[in-house]
Amino acid sequence: SNVAAHLMEGKIELVGTRPEALLKGEGAVIQWKGERAGAYKDENGELHVLDTTCTHMGCEVEWNSAEHSWDCPCHGSRFSFDGEVMEGPAKKPLKKIAYSDTDEVRHIPY
Ligand code: FES
């Protein structure tokens, strides 16, 4: 697709990259069916895809590659790679997304 347009939108040049391309132990924010999503490939090669909307008040969590967690910048909630609450104030896990590798997925900027 149009590289210049993607750059203008601030998109990193990973369009077409699929979560399958993640290395084991690596996570990333991706775009899934037009929505921001979080993907993590565990040590067994299994993909965990989550809605990155924090269950506290709706901020977008970011991948913490040092801790392998999804961290919320707003009030400090932290979630495990599969979305379980590690630290509040959030009380509910991140929503899991049923991922199918037949659909288009691409990375979006942090
Ligand atoms: Fe994420 Fe408050 S919105 S911790």
Residue 39 is part of a domain; what is its CATH number?
A: 2.102.10.10
pLDDT value, residue 7 = 41
Asked if the structure places residue 86 within a domain, the reply is yes
Provide the 10 A C-beta neighbour count for residue 8. Answer: 9
Nearest CA to ligand 1 atom 3: 57
**Which ipTM did the prediction report?**
0.99
Q: Which atom from ligand 1 is nearest to the alpha carbon of 89? A: 4
Asked if the structure places residue 102 within a domain, the reply is yes
Report percent pLDDT > 70 for the chain: 74
Between the CA of 91 and the centroid of ligand 1 the distance, in Å, is 10
pLDDT value, residue 5 = 41
The response to whether residue 57 sits with its C-beta less than 6 Å from ligand 1 reads yes
Asked if the structure places residue 9 within a domain, the reply is no
Between the CA of 29 and the centroid of ligand 1 the distance, in Å, is 17
Mean pLDDT of 69-91: 97
pLDDT value, residue 102 = 53
Asked if the structure places residue 2 within a domain, the reply is no
Six token digits for residue 72: 């919320």
Provide the 10 A C-beta neighbour count for residue 55. Answer: 19
pLDDT at 106 over 80: no
